[in-house]
Amino acid sequence: MYCHQLQPPIEFLIRSSARRLPLTSQLRLDFNMEDALPKFARASHAGHVNRCLSGLPGSQVEVDSARLALGFYCLGALDLLGAIQTKTSETDRASWREWIWEQQTQGVHGTGFRPSPFETADSATPEPYSDYDGPHLIMTYTALLTLAILRDDFSKLDRAGLLKFVRACQQDNGSFSIVPGNGETDLRTLYCAFCICDMLGDWSGVNVEQALKFIGTCRTYEGGYGQASFCEASGGPTYIALASLHLAPRDKDTLPLTREQRNRSIHWLIHNQHESGGFCGRTEKPPADACYSFWCGAALKVLGAADLIDAESHASFIATCQFQFGGIAKVPNEHPDPYHTYLSIAALTLFPPHVPDGGP
Amino acid sequence: MIPVPSPPLYSTRPEWADVVPIPQYEKANPLAPILYSEEYKDATDYLRAVVKSGEKSERVLQLTEHVIRLNPAHYSAWQYRYETVVAIQWPLETEIALMDELADKYLKTYQVWHHRRLILTLSKEAREELAFVAKILQQDEKNYHTWAHRQWILAFYNDDALWAGELDFVDTMMNKDVRNNSVWHHRFFVVFQSGVREGEENRERVVRRELIYTKQNISLAPNNASAWNYLRGVLEFTKLPLSTVATFVTPYTVPLPENLGDIVDVENPPPGKGAELPCVAAIEFQADIYEEEAQSESIEEAVRLWKSLAEEHDTIRKKYWEYRIQQALLRT
């Protein structure tokens, strides 16, 4: 059994919009029996992310200000593996939901989620946030996805407050900052804002036109997008930009790209597939890194071109990134982490290799 | 290496005795709890306390620096530090000097660069900044944050004096590694994306210079996708047809001839000795030139080349080349 039986990524499932990304991939018939794929260590990967969910050593303290994102990668991986019900207990799922809701915080800029209580002062009852322990846009996005994975009923969601917060993060140039005010701004935050609006089915919180202009300033001559205006094309921002264009409300069912632009983007993305089968994030920047399997592959999916990927050599590459004791690393022979584990599995889900009956 | 001893805890320091530490809020059973070190727990307990009291002082700068060194991604510590720098009118050059060290140390942390940008915005002093970026790039010549910072400085200050040395800088970096795509991208940004500067008004001359520059670099290292992408970028940006460089491209699409000859053609530098030919990017370029012509015979030629890529020269992209064939045939 291989990973074509995995479920599609949750972020595509919970989108409220009727416009959905195509999820089914055609299974290929040209698979060479002699190139049998190594086994996909499903149970070990579940074990890896479960260990991270149960606790991290002090050396991982940098994760604290992005802990909800880590939770999303871990639980997202379990969800894709179809292991949420079998590998976690209802008690754990209930306490994680409770903990995530505890990060929802209200205050002057509206409502959103903190990454963790890393800067929140102890108190008997929750207090409105200060300027220094308020909600974070990227974490708010990952909180919503994680709650969906945990099958929450969202009865505690403050929709109006959420839109107010998203609005407060938008800057004059159309981009969004991680927190209202002086925080970093780049395409990541714009994508999160767009996803939140799409999930809520309410775009009244943002200036879409200005945001689309900002995305335009990040496009490069190579056909990819950079993290911010004038920056080099890279796999992550390219997925983020194209997915944001896909999510933005529009009249027609096509992306706001010319035919030439679309062709150039496909050209750049498909050329990032490296001879090893994995994807590089930038031109002439080997080696392939497992996270770009998702970023480049999902960008191709948005463009309706994921079937152009060589899915078999890609799956072989991911197989070599599997760590002996579970989890998937960025490159072969390195230590795994939930980020690369989740993104690799999501990529395999988007463009599964063809496996003949009775294969590994 | 001798381990660096941890500094004494704030809770034991007389000079912090006036502050009552505030522990972290933690009620529900947490997701992925972190086993904090005593040092981190103590420092952040005091950070929460000064944030709550609103204290902005030199010792707060020391405290935030300490927290940042333990966790450079602690964006609240950075934010409070920034506001403290402003409030107590801390010398900005001192702050930048510290940032020089921290950028070097935490090169891949977003906050290091964001804070630096905020401080520079205050100081309006960028003279040393490009030299600093050049130095940091030495340890990681493709570091994304560092290049992004350089592009931001140039765009933000938009000062002729800063732009003046930029093409020379690109050349220096290119000479170190002609396959560094960050350098090619930066060149495009400087030449085409950021307005027209003194000495660059004659655009025809600039485009000719860029085409020759790119061709020469391809001649030195033909299998370099960065250079080919740049070539396409220049032509597309200036709305020139791909066939503008047809004469140059052709020799790269076939095996290297035994006798190279001594042709010196600046416009069309031939492949050098030992070049690995045919070059995949050149075959692809040639096919695109044929496709651009959009005549039935030329499409046939393009299809022939795409087939050779699918079946021989670039088999990992077999499906892509087949797709190109299908698309081209659909249009004719």
Cα separation, B325 vs B332, in Å, equals 11
**Residue B169: inside a domain:** no
Q: Are strands A104-107 and A110-113 parallel, antiparallel or unpaired?
A: antiparallel
**Residue B104: inside a domain:** yes
Cα separation, A258 vs A78, in Å, equals 38
Q: Does B176 touch chain A (CB under 8 A)?
A: no
Q: Does A124 touch chain B (CB under 8 A)?
A: no
User: What is chain B's pLDDT, residue by residue, as a tens digit (332 residues)?
Assistant: 566 677 899 999 999 999 999 999 988 789 999 999 999 999 999 999 999 999 999 999 999 999 999 999 999 999 999 999 999 999 999 999 999 999 999 999 999 999 999 999 998 888 889 999 999 999 999 999 999 999 999 999 999 899 999 999 999 999 999 999 999 999 999 999 988 888 888 999 999 999 999 999 999 999 999 999 999 999 999 999 999 999 999 999 999 888 767 777 889 999 988 899 999 999 999 999 999 998 889 999 999 999 999 999 999 999 999 999 999 999 87
**Residue B322: inside a domain:** no
**Residue B304: inside a domain:** no
Candidates A120, A234, A283; nearest CB to B226: A283
Cα separation, A242 vs B170, in Å, equals 30
- Would you say B95 and B119 are in contact if contact means Cβ atoms under 8 Å apart? yes
Q: Is position B108 annotated as part of the catalytic site? A: yes
The active-site residue, picked from B27, B52, B105, B108, is B108
Cα-to-chain-centroid distance, residue B55 = 38
**Residue B10: inside a domain:** yes
* Count of domains observed in chain B: 1
Integer-rounded Cα radius of gyration of chain A = 20
Considering only CA atoms, which of B37, A114, A347, A137 is closest in space to residue A339? Answer: A347
Average pLDDT over residues A270-276: 98
Cis before residue B278, ω within 30 degrees of 0? yes
* A186 φ, ψ (degrees, to nearest 5): -170, -170
Q: Name chain A contacts of B230, Cβ cutoff 8 Å.
A: 221
Question: Residue A147: pLDDT above 80?
Answer: yes
Angle, helix A291-302 to helix A235-247, in steps of 10 degrees: 30
**Residue B280: inside a domain:** no
Q: Name chain A contacts of B80, Cβ cutoff 8 Å.
A: 132
Q: Name chain B contacts of A305, Cβ cutoff 8 Å.
A: 323
Cα separation, B142 vs A6, in Å, equals 36
Inter-chain residue contact B75 with A222, CB threshold 8 Å:
no
Task: Tell me how long chain B is.
Answer: 332
Cα separation, B181 vs B147, in Å, equals 11
Which domain covers residue B102, as residue numbers? 1-125
Percent of chain A as helix, strand, coil, to the nearest 5: 50, 5, 45
Number of inter-chain CB pairs under 8 A, A vs B: 193
- Shortest alpha-carbon distance between residue A222 and chain B (Å): 6
Sign of CA dihedral B310, B311, B314, B317: positive
What is the overall mean pLDDT for chain A? Answer: 88
- Would you say A282 and A336 are in contact if contact means Cβ atoms under 8 Å apart? no
Interface test with B, best of A73, A271, A351 (most B CBs within 10 A): A271
Q: What is the ipTM of this complex?
A: 0.95
Cα separation, A168 vs A340, in Å, equals 31
Residue where the block lists tokens 């496909």? A266
Integer-rounded Cα radius of gyration of chain B = 28
- Would you say B130 and B150 are in contact if contact means Cβ atoms under 8 Å apart? yes
Q: What is the pLDDT of residues A23-56, one digit of tens each?
A: 333 222 233 334 567 889 999 999 999 999 999 9
- Would you say A264 and A254 are in contact if contact means Cβ atoms under 8 Å apart? no
**Residue B170: inside a domain:** no
Cα separation, B75 vs B115, in Å, equals 9
CATH number at residue B43: 1.25.40.120
**Residue B285: inside a domain:** no
